[in-house]
Structure formats: C-alpha cells, structure tokens
C-alpha cells in the first residue's frame, strides 16, 4: 500500500494502546456505528479516519432522505434513521440542516402505479405514513411539476433532505458525548490478526490492539478489506447531480418544496436554497477505479460528463419545466460505493474472526442510522433486533468475486430506479456457478435463475427457443408450464436438481452433543432424519434444518442454500475441539425424485433393496444409485412420496442419465423451483428467507412442534417464556378469492380495514387449484375460518384462514 501516512498532519493526542472496537473510516456509516456503540454502553470504542471526517463519499452527497426500499426491514431502518437526526443534532449541538418537507414518488405509467400500490400495501402493516395523492394534489404540493405526466403519486411525510457533512459530524460529536473517541488524519495502514483473534490496527501514530474491528472504509472498503485478505464484491460508481440557478417561483415561496422521485424519468430532486437539485442514475453506468481507489484521493470531485445524463435531463425538463428554463449553477460528479444487489454488506464476516464490515452503503444518509443501530445491537447483544438478511455480508460467498461484484454493482446502479418484477431474473453476472446439469437442463427448456451464485432451474418450457419469461405483477408465462410439471409429480414422477440446498457436515466425538445443544429439535439416531428449528439465544428462528445421522459421530445437515455462509458463521462461533465442521454444499450435488412412481424409478437404479418398508419415511443411508455413490434421504418437500439423492458433483451427469433412462416409460419429467414452491404451499410448509427468518419465533412460525422440550438448547429460555405467554402473531395459510392474480409477497393482510399482518409468500397452488398465501397475522385473527382481506395491487380480496394443509392433510402420500 502507498506510503500515505507521511503526507498527513496528525491529531496531537495519542492513540490508546487497546480498544474493544476500532472502526476504520469516518464517513456517515462509521460515525453512526461509533455513536450507537457508545450510546448502548460500549465506551471503549475508537474511530480512525484517514483524513478529515466525511472524506469519502459523505461530503458530496445530495442529502436527500426517504424511507422506501425494496426490503421492508430496510424501510423500517430508513424510517429510524430519519427520526434519529433530531436526537444527534440536539446531543452534539451540531446542525444537520434537516428539512422534513415530505416527499413523493410519482407514477407516470400504470406499471409504476402498480409498483407504488405494492409499496403502499407494505407501508400499511409497517405503520409508515404513506398515502396516494392525485396529480392535482401533487401539483398543489409541488407547483413546479407538470401533473399531466402522472397517474398518481405516493406521498411520504417523513422524506426530506439534510446537510450530509453536518449529519456526519453530528454523529461523531454525539458519539463523543457518549464517551467514544475519534481520531482524524490517522490512516490505517495494516490490520494484523493475533493468534488470540484480536486485531492490531496499525497507523503511523502507533497501533491499537482491538477485540473487534469494523471496516467502514466506504470508497476504500475494498482496499481496507485487502489488509485482512478480504475481497469484498463492492464497486465505487460515478454519479451526477446538478444544482440550478435561482428559480423565481422558489425564491418567492415561503415554504420549502417537497422532495421527489420520478422513476420512469429516473430522476430525484429537491429544493436547494432558491434553486433545485436534480440527480439521475444513467442507463450506462461508469464504474470508478475498478482496480483500486488511490489513497491520495481526497475531497475531490470527478470531471462531469453531461452527455451521459442528457436524455434523462431532457425528460426532467418535461416533467419540471422550470428546470429547463433555468441555468445550471453546479454539476457534481462524485463516486460512491454500490453492492451487487444495491443493499449494504454489514455484519461479522464468515470465516474471519472478530472482523466486521459495513460497506457498500449506497444511501448512507437514508440508511446510516439503521446500519449503526443494527451493527451495535449485533456486536453487543449477539444478534440484531430485526432480521437484516437483506444487508448481511453472509448473503455472498467466495463466488462473489471482485469481478462479479463490479458487474453486478454496475447493473444495480443502472437499475436503481428501474422496476424489477417478482418473476424477473436479472441478466448480469450469470453462470457464475453452474452444475454438470446446466447444459442438459437448458436443452430441456429450463428457465434459469441464480441463488447464492448457483444457477438453478425455475421452470421448463417446451425447449430452449421457448424458454423465456415476460416480467409482470400478474400471473405469469410460466403458469401452465408449472401446472404440467406439478401434474407429472402428482400422478407419476418428477425430478428436481438440489445442488442449491446447503449441506453442513459435522464429525467427531462431540458432534451429537454439540448439535443437541445448538438445535432445538431432536437429533436422530444413525440411519434416520429429523427436521429441527435452530434458535437464537433470544428464541428467534435462525434455521430450519434436516439432520441426517450417517454414523454415531457423523452428521450432515441440509438447509437453506442462501443461508449457508450465515450458518457457517453460526456453527463456527462456538465449535468445541472434539467436533469438526465443514460447509460441504459444493461437495454434494443431486436430484430429488417426487411422485407416486418415484419408488418404482429409484428401485430400478438403486443397488440396495428399498422396497416394502425396508427404506422408511425419514430414513437415510449411503448407497449406490445409477452406479454412483450417494447419500439417499427418504424425504420430500413436494408433499408426495419422495427421495433426495445426493452425489459428488463429478457423478451428477451420470446420475441424471440413469434417472432419465429409467424414468422414460414412467413419464418422468424435470421440474423447477416454481413447481416446488407451489406444492409446498399446499402443505403449509414455510420456506427460509420468506416465511422462516429471524423476525419470527418458533411458536409464531409453528416450528415449535419440532422442539425437544426435554433437553437444554440455545434459545430454550426465550422459547419457554413465549410458550407460557403465547405468541403475539402466527403464521397462517390463507386461501384468497382472486380474479387471475396471486400474491407475490409483502402484501398487507387486513381485518375490517385494519392491517393485522402481511404475506410472507404465496402463489397459485395447482394441485388444489387455489390461490394461496402464507403470512403472519396477530394471534386473535389466526383461527381457522377467520375471514380476512389481502391487498393485491391496491385491490382488497377476501381470504380465509385454513385449519389444515390443503393437500394430503395427514401426509399419507409421503409415508408407506
Ligand atoms: C453524488 C452523490 C450523491 C449522493 N446522494 C445521496 C443522497 O441524496 N442520499 C443518500 O442517502 N446518499 C447519497 N449518496 C451516497 C452517500 O454519500 C454514501 O452512501 C455515504 O457517504 C457512504 O458513507 P460511508 O461512510 O460508507 O463511506 P465514505 O463516505 O466513503 O467514508 C469512508 C471513510 O473511510 C475513510 N477511510 C478509508 N480508508 C481508510 C483507512 N485506511 N484508514 C482510515 N480511514 C479510512 C475515508 O477517508 C472516508 O472518510 C450520494 C453519493 C454521491 C457520490
């Protein structure tokens, strides 16, 4: 790394030799984390800043603040962030220049109106203050807008703007009031881990030994990561906004104009003094310093290039004609860092003890407070108070390489204000990870998506020429194809690739005892499988796992593929010496067979006798299938008789040939994730990241039926307390009376017009031919037969709580 320390003038006071936490980077994110840690009682925390505070992106931000985000929990944290500004201003005595003007999201097409109706529905159950206003009301609140372009606008009382530098300093000074310290002109040049897991943070002023370090390097997040051997998949991007000369209509107003976003025109805007500020995300992004940001880069801006945003400017002149009539005073082109899906990467890094990150925060003034809150809760309490999966650094694995990060971060920048439909798959950074079946399934008509970097089939069209999706909020093109796949599974036998399930291997004398403590459910005997929840100490769900006991000291756990790095982090945290643990997800690929004829097919290619009760429901064994060694599970997520066959990746093609050949006269058909997700709805089985996640407890989700109350396990005290008191809300299955449209998630559930919960997942259930949703509702509205409403695209549909699974309620199909 370049010799940056000699070029800096340092603070006079000396660094402490030790700190509980050292935060690297004094942008808004680092300062917010410093503030929250100190506020919650950790005073021995130190922030080190290379230059002055705000010396990355923070000083030149546009300062617009709003609550809307694609993830409801991020919206909640954005709302928290905005509410926090008054507190830090009062505590620090430093102005944040806050203007809560209210703001709007203007819909200029029916699709954007539908999108905003979905946002409005989310806001209902989150308790956010959002309401639709007509184009006429919009023009009354923002007289510079030409209302003829709009169908409606969603109004949010909480939106506005602030002074970005002021806000960052207010966080830092408020942190000092709470007892924390920060040092400017103190660049960190090395981070070295000691054998005890603590970190030496090296600067020219000396080193601090820290129990934990937090990388808040912002524009230099990647470079700070390199000091610890980390390659974070984030990328700084160039971004323009401009400030106009005085606009007479604004100069003569005595109230400030509200902030606004026009998605189709791809512009955001607000009042700036007596003119306007207008920014845009251009369709062809410009990643900045792909190979690394120079340490010398300081309070500098980049060369503006108006050609890049010319088309967007023209649109803005139509929508806000006064801007077109006014001269431009300033053009800002500044870099800020994006993550691959546009959300921050925060939390403890899996596999690197005591190393935390909060990088890729692309809307630091909307999200910085929430990121600080979450990080402080996580560090101090061991878990955040709400599920922050959408921001968790563990949602990316080593497949998320720097190159992939640049490609996806650029895509995300370009799509910042571009709608993504629920059935849409994004095109960039694809085929990062594939299995041996990829070409074969594509040749069979598979429409692919990726999950945790790995391509997997969503559904199967007639063939490759016909394999495409049409983005929509309504019932989509795959509907009839999925029906055909499900029919094959229901009447005969179908197969789905299962490489994307996570597999975790535990070996050793202490494995059973460790799992007994870590998992809330029963740990099986050799040769058997169990399903178990895994809870946090606070009793919240952290996993639903299938446990296979291969031998008394050898277990494999199957779970959510997306959660595999988060689970690895969880398992490695307190692993005893007599247990070895490995995430073996990439070492076991496979195929699951489902349907009444799955036994017939399997018996033809399995060397063992598995007929007539010799291989019972929830049995597991190591066997040979299709001539290759496998782990064979008798279990099913489709609700039909079923088997999971896991083989080493090099045998997958061979296995698939054996399955296809043996299944030819049984009408064997491949099926995809959409068919599986539809079938599990009819069984009222939740899916991880949707219905099961750390926002919910075992009792709320119904996973408490799998708890072994007779043993001691992580989260037992909290689960017992809830058992006595009863859960405040419950996961229910609803049948909805629809007209050709289904839920896609996050819709409000209402009773007599008041929000009582929200949809966690749903869709069309083909075997029972009903539109189904799963969702959490307050307990008093969870009884079978309760009549509720579900809001889909702004329309209320009646729905009824179900008392039993809709399909094969007693599970006879899966058993012998
Ligand atoms: C043109 C533009 C407009 C924007 N508009 C908005 C907006 O309207 N609303 C909004 O919410 N967001 C906006 N943003 C985004 C916002 O600026 C960022 O999200 C935010 O500043 C990120 O803060 P940060 O703390 O993560 O990173 P940074 O601000 O980049 O801070 C990182 C800090 O770490 C320090 N550092 C790095 N390496 C070291 C080291 N080795 N040792 C010590 N210190 C180190 C740096 O000097 C820097 O001060 C905008 C950004 C741009 C560029």
Are the CB atoms for 156 and 68 separated by under 8 Å? yes
Classify strands 355-359 and 206-215 as parallel, antiparallel or unpaired. Answer: parallel
Residue recorded with tokens 């005892």: 513
CA-based end-to-end distance of the chain: 65
Residue whose CB lies within 8 A of the most ligand 1 atoms, among 10, 24, 26, 57, for a mutation test: 57
pLDDT, tens digit (0-9, with 9 covering 90-100), for 522-542: 999 999 999 999 999 999 999
Angle, helices 72-92/110-126, rounded to nearest 10 degrees: 60
**Is 26 close to ligand 1, i.e. is its CB under 6 Å away?**
yes
Nearest by Cα to 293 from 377, 379, 359? 359
CA of 38 to the centre of ligand 1 (A): 21
The token pair at 411 is 């895509």
The contacts of residue 401 (CB under 8 Å, 6+ apart) are 231, 233, 432
**Is 217 close to ligand 1, i.e. is its CB under 6 Å away?**
yes
**Is 224 close to ligand 1, i.e. is its CB under 6 Å away?**
yes
Phi, psi of 59 (to 5 degrees): -70, -25
pLDDT-above-70 percentage for the chain: 98
**Is 280 close to ligand 1, i.e. is its CB under 6 Å away?**
no
**Is 361 close to ligand 1, i.e. is its CB under 6 Å away?**
yes
Residue whose CB lies within 8 A of the most ligand 1 atoms, among 205, 217, 230, 360, for a mutation test: 217
Residues 548, 550: Cα–Cα separation, whole Å: 6
**Is 47 close to ligand 1, i.e. is its CB under 6 Å away?**
no
Minimal-distance CA residue to ligand 1 atom 48: 56
**Is 63 close to ligand 1, i.e. is its CB under 6 Å away?**
yes
Question: What number does the ligand 1 atom closest to the CA of 334 have?
Answer: 53
pLDDT, tens digit (0-9, with 9 covering 90-100), for 54-87: 999 999 999 999 999 989 999 999 999 999 999 9
pLDDT for residue 429 is more than 70: yes
Q: Which helix (H) or strand (E) holds 502?
A: strand 502-507
Residue recorded with tokens 């799509």: 415
CA of 49 to the centre of ligand 1 (A): 12
pLDDT, tens digit (0-9, with 9 covering 90-100), for 432-460: 999 999 999 999 999 999 999 999 999 99
The contacts of residue 307 (CB under 8 Å, 6+ apart) are none
Are the CB atoms for 593 and 646 separated by under 8 Å? no
Residues 319, 265: Cα–Cα separation, whole Å: 8
CA of 328 to the centre of ligand 1 (A): 25
Nearest by Cα to 741 from 473, 477, 511? 473
**Is 33 close to ligand 1, i.e. is its CB under 6 Å away?**
no
pLDDT, tens digit (0-9, with 9 covering 90-100), for 690-736: 999 999 999 999 999 999 999 999 999 999 999 999 999 999 999 99
Are the CB atoms for 402 and 236 separated by under 8 Å? no
**Is 188 close to ligand 1, i.e. is its CB under 6 Å away?**
yes
Phi, psi of 3 (to 5 degrees): -80, 80
Are the CB atoms for 503 and 563 separated by under 8 Å? no
The contacts of residue 104 (CB under 8 Å, 6+ apart) are 133, 138, 141, 142, 153, 154, 155, 156, 159, 258, 259, 260, 261
Residues 62, 279: Cα–Cα separation, whole Å: 8
**Is 24 close to ligand 1, i.e. is its CB under 6 Å away?**
yes
Question: What number does the ligand 1 atom closest to the CA of 168 have?
Answer: 25
CA of 268 to the centre of ligand 1 (A): 19
Are the CB atoms for 359 and 232 separated by under 8 Å? yes
Q: b/e per residue, 19-37, with b = 16+ CB within 10 A?
A: bebbbbbbbbbbbbbbbbb
- Model pLDDT, residue 3: 36
Q: Which helix (H) or strand (E) holds 139?
A: helix 135-141
Residue whose CB lies within 8 A of the most ligand 1 atoms, among 36, 61, 214, 331, for a mutation test: 61
**Is 160 close to ligand 1, i.e. is its CB under 6 Å away?**
no
Question: Helix (H, G, I), strand (E, B), or coil: what is residue 334?
Answer: strand
The token pair at 180 is 């924390």
**Is 261 close to ligand 1, i.e. is its CB under 6 Å away?**
no
**Is 64 close to ligand 1, i.e. is its CB under 6 Å away?**
yes
Nearest by Cα to 800 from 761, 760, 749? 749
Q: Which helix (H) or strand (E) holds 663?
A: helix 652-663
- Model pLDDT, residue 11: 53
**Is 56 close to ligand 1, i.e. is its CB under 6 Å away?**
yes
Name the H helices within 256-320: 306-319
Minimal-distance CA residue to ligand 1 atom 32: 218
Question: What number does the ligand 1 atom closest to the CA of 335 have?
Answer: 53
pLDDT for residue 159 is more than 90: yes
pLDDT, tens digit (0-9, with 9 covering 90-100), for 606-651: 999 998 789 999 999 999 999 999 999 999 999 999 999 999 999 9
Question: What number does the ligand 1 atom closest to the CA of 28 have?
Answer: 25
**Is 30 close to ligand 1, i.e. is its CB under 6 Å away?**
yes
- Model pLDDT, residue 12: 58
Residue whose CB lies within 8 A of the most ligand 1 atoms, among 67, 213, 364, for a mutation test: 364
Considering the entire predicted model, what is its pTM?
A: 0.96
| DSSP string across 95-107 | ----B---EEEEE
**Is 344 close to ligand 1, i.e. is its CB under 6 Å away?**
no
Residue recorded with tokens 């390489």: 401
pLDDT, tens digit (0-9, with 9 covering 90-100), for 221-238: 999 999 999 999 999 999
The contacts of residue 402 (CB under 8 Å, 6+ apart) are 222, 231, 232, 233
Within 13 Å of residue 461, how many CA atoms lie on the same side as its CB?
16
The token pair at 462 is 């007639």
Are the CB atoms for 293 and 224 separated by under 8 Å? no
CA of 569 to the centre of ligand 1 (A): 28
Mean pLDDT of 659-674: 98
Mean pLDDT of 312-333: 96
Question: What number does the ligand 1 atom closest to the CA of 54 have?
Answer: 49
């Amino acid at each position: 790394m370049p010799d940056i320390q000699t070029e800096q003038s340092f603070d006079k006071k000396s660094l402490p030799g030790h700190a509980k936490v050292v935060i690297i980077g004094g942008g808004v994110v680092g300062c917010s984390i410093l503030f929250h840690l100190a506020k919650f009682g950790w005073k021995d925390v130190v922030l080190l800043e290379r230059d002055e505070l705000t010396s990355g992106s923070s000083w030149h931000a546009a300062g617009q603040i709003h609550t809307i985000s694609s993830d409801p929990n991020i919206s909640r944290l954005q709302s928290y962030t905005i509410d926090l500004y008054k507190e830090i201003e009062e505590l620090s005595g430093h102005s944040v220049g806050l203007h809560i003007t209210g703001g709007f999201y203007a819909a200029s097409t029916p699709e954007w109106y539908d999108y905003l109706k979905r946002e409005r529905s989310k806001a209902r159950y989150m308790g956010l203050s959002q309401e639709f206003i007509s184009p006429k009301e919009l023009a009354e609140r923002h007289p510079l807008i030409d209302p003829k372009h709009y169908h409606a606008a969603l109004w949010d009382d909480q939106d506005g703007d602030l002074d970005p530098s002021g806000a960052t300093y207010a966080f830092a000074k408020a942190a000092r009031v709470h007892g924390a310290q920060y040092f400017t002109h103190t660049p960190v040049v090395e981070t070295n881990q000691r054998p005890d897991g603590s970190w030496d943070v090296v600067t020219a002023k000396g080193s601090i030994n820290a129990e934990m370090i937090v990388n808040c390097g912002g524009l230099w997040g990647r470079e700070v990561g390199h000091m610890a051997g980390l390659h974070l998949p984030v990328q700084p991007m160039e971004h323009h906004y401009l400030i106009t000369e005085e606009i007479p209509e604004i100069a003569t107003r005595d109230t400030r104009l509200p902030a606004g976003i026009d998605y189709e025109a791809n512009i955001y805007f607000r009042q700036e003094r007596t003119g306007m500020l207008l920014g845009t995300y251009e369709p062809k992004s410009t990643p900045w310093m792909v190979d690394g940001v120079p340490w010398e880069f300081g309070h500098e801006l980049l060369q503006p290039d108006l050609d890049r945003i010319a088309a967007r400017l023209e649109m803005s002149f139509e929508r806000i004609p006064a801007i077109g009539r006014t001269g431009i005073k300033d053009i800002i082109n500044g870099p800020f860092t994006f993550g691959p899906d546009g959300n921050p990467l925060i939390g403890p890094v899996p596999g690197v003890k005591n190393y935390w990150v909060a990088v890729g925060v692309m809307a630091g003034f909307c999200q910085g407070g929430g990121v600080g809150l979450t990080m402080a809760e996580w560090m101090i309490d061991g878990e955040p108070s709400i599920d922050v999966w959408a921001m968790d650094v563990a949602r990316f694995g080593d497949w998320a390489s720097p190159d992939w990060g640049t490609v996806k971060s650029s895509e995300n920048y370009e799509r910042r204000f571009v709608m993504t439909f629920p059935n849409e798959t994004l095109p960039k950074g694809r085929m990062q990870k594939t299995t041996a079946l990829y070409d074969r399934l594509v040749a069979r008509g598979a429409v692919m998506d990726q999950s945790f970097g790995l391509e997997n089939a969503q559904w199967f069209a007639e063939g490759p020429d016909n394999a495409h999706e049409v983005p929509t909020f309504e019932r989509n093109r795959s509907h009839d194809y999925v029906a055909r796949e499900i029919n094959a599974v229901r009447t005969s036998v179908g197969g789905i690739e299962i490489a994307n399930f996570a597999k975790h291997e535990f070996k050793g004398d202490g494995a059973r005892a460790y799992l007994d403590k870590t998992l809330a459910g029963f740990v099986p005997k050799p040769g058997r499988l169990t399903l178990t929840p895994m809870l946090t100490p606070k009793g919240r769900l952290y996993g639903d796992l299938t446990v296979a006991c291969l031998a008394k000291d050898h277990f494999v756990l199957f779970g959510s593929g997306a959660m595999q790095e988060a689970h690895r982090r969880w398992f490695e945290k307190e692993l005893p010496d007599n247990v070895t643990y490995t995430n073996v997800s990439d070492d076991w690929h496979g195929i699951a067979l489902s349907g009444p004829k799955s036994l017939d097919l399997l018996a033809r290619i399995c060397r063992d006798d598995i007929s007539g009760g010799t291989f019972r429901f929830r049995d597991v064994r190591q066997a040979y299938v299709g001539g290759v060694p496998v782990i064979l599970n008798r279990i099913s997520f489709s609700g039909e008789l079923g088997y999971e066959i896991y083989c080493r990746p090099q045998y997958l093609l061979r296995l698939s040939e054996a399955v296809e050949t043996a299944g030819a006269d049984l009408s064997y058909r491949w099926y995809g994730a959409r068919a599986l997700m539809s079938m599990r709805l009819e069984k009222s089985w939740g899916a991880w990241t949707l219905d099961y996640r750390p926002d919910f407890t075992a009792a709320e989700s119904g996973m408490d039926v799998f708890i072994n109350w007779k043993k001691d396990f992580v989260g037992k005290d909290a689960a017992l307390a809830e058992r006595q008191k009863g859960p405040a809300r419950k996961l229910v299955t609803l049948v909805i009376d629809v007209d050709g449209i289904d839920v896609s998630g996050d819709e409000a559930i209402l009773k007599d017009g008041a929000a009582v919960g929200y949809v966690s997942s749903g869709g069309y259930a083909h075997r029972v031919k009903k539109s189904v949703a799963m969702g959490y509702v307050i307990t008093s509205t969870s009884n079978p037969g309760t009549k509720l409403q579900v809001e889909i695209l702004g329309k209320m549909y009646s729905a009824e709580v179900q008392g039993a699974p809709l399909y094969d309620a007693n599970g006879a199909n899966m058993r012998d």
